[in-house]
Amino acid sequence: MTGNKAVAYKGPGKVELIDIDYPTFELKDGPGVNPANVGRAVNHGVILKTVATNICGSDQHMVRGRTTAPPDLVLGHEITGEVVEVGRDVEFIKVGDLCSVPFNIACGRCRNCKERKTGICLNVNPDRPGSAYGYVDMGGWVGGQANYVLVPYADWNLLKFPDKDRAMEKILDLAMLSDIFPTGFHGAVSAGVGVGSTVYVAGAGPVGLAAATSAHLLGAAVVIVGDLNEDRLARARSFGCETVDLTKGGPAEQIEQILGVPEVDCGVDAVGFEARGHGHGKDAEEAPATVLNSLMDITAAGGALGIPGLYVTGDPGGIDEAAKKGALSLSLGTGWAKSLSFTTGQCPVMKYNRQLMMAILNDRVNIAKNVNAKAITLEEAPQGYAEFDAGAATKYVLNPNGYLS
């Protein structure tokens, strides 16, 4: 039996490399697995040997203890891999194929999947619509920060790269197709970004930088990125963004210095529920509604907000009882008065990943450079998590099987 090591959540602030079972074509009981999913046959799945699997800010929320994730939950929903086994019902994906795995698990059969709403598939999570690998309350599908991982509904879920050698030349870029590049792109698209748009992206983490990259790809005239972290702002400036340093005050006055008016056409929230108030330096207190409220203030009437930043229904570390249930003090009246539209929820990765793959393969975009992707070993994952949590302007890409140089 082939060995399988994985990165697991052990408790607030702690991840460890553990030994887990090699995948089979059946969902077994384990940390976070919904009892209704135990024993579920996955003959429509494949087993991947992991090529790249990234550390995500959404993982970091769990590792900080800000969700109800159980100990020993295997992490990792950003997966790229090579097929080493196929289930008996898989028809089109073959052993040896190199593929990107959308972080949303989708069946391809339900009403939502047929309407391209793959982030809210009805058949993969008994608790609620929508699922993901290695994530709390998502059905219990084992995460991909491991040597090997099971991918269900493989013919539907996997994006096969057309040429393996060509793909390996750009593998760090292609590794971003599983989540952050489509997620950032979805944030920009749902904010209405187009040719000539002025755009404000709240948050200069990897998703925010991916949203800014996407805004440029969509033809924006000016892309402004705001954050409290100067290293991350410098990363945004490195590919042509204007920046707003929120340690020096709110975004409106700084946007006015850039554009001549204190508003933008399109706003993107790439921060989520662990947002902090601006103007108070690096020790700014948590204020979970501050980004959404400031975006409503600075987005022009009739505009739109794309909200790829994560919001949860259960946050043990919330600042008050309301926040612990995901209830925020939103100035919805501002949004209503300005006729703003809002798009929230998981990005439906399959809606965008093939187009973004083609942009990467044909040198239209350098997403790995823009987010400062860095390959590290599986054993270095705890250090990568710690550095990312401390604010490193880096997208850590785990390299479990030595595919990455």
Tokens 């060509």 locate to 166
Whether the CB-CB separation of 149 and 50 falls below 8 Å is answered with yes
Q: Cα–chain-centroid distance for residue 64?
A: 16
Nearest-Å Rg of the Cα atoms of the chain is 20
Superfamily of domain 5-179+348-398: Medium-chain alcohol dehydrogenases, catalytic domain (3.90.180.10)
- pLDDT at res. 282: 56
- How confident is the model over 197-222, as a mean pLDDT? 98
- Report residue 286's pLDDT band, with 50, 70 and 90 as the boundaries: confident
- Tell me whether domains 5-179+348-398 and 184-344 share a fold: no
Please tell me the predicted confidence (pLDDT) of residue 303. Answer: 98
Q: How far apart are CA 34 and CA 273, in angstroms?
A: 25
Q: How far is CA 363 from CA 10, 20, 368, in A?
A: 40, 38, 12
CA nearest to 171, candidates 397, 6, 338, 364: 397
pLDDT value for 88: 98
**Which residues lie closer than 8 Å to 273 by C-beta, 6 or more apart?**
61, 66, 288, 309, 310, 311, 312, 315, 323, 326, 328
β-bridge mates for residue 373, sequence order: 395
pLDDT in tens, 375-397: 999 999 999 999 999 999 999 99
Q: Measuring CA to CA, which residue among 126, 150, 104 is closest to residue 33?
A: 126
> Binning pLDDT at 50, 70 and 90, where does residue 326 land?
confident
Q: Which CATH superfamily is domain 184-344 in?
A: NAD(P)-binding Rossmann-like Domain (3.40.50.720)
Beta strands in 122-178 (DSSP E): 148-151, 159-160
pTM for this one?
A: 0.95
Q: In whole numbers, what is the pLDDT of the chain averaged over residues?
A: 94
Q: Which helix (H) or strand (E) holds 100?
A: strand 98-101
pLDDT in tens, 263-283: 999 999 999 888 777 655 556
Domain ranges in the chain? 5-179+348-398, 184-344
Q: Of 52, 22, 10, 24, whose CA–CA distance to 375 is shortest?
A: 52
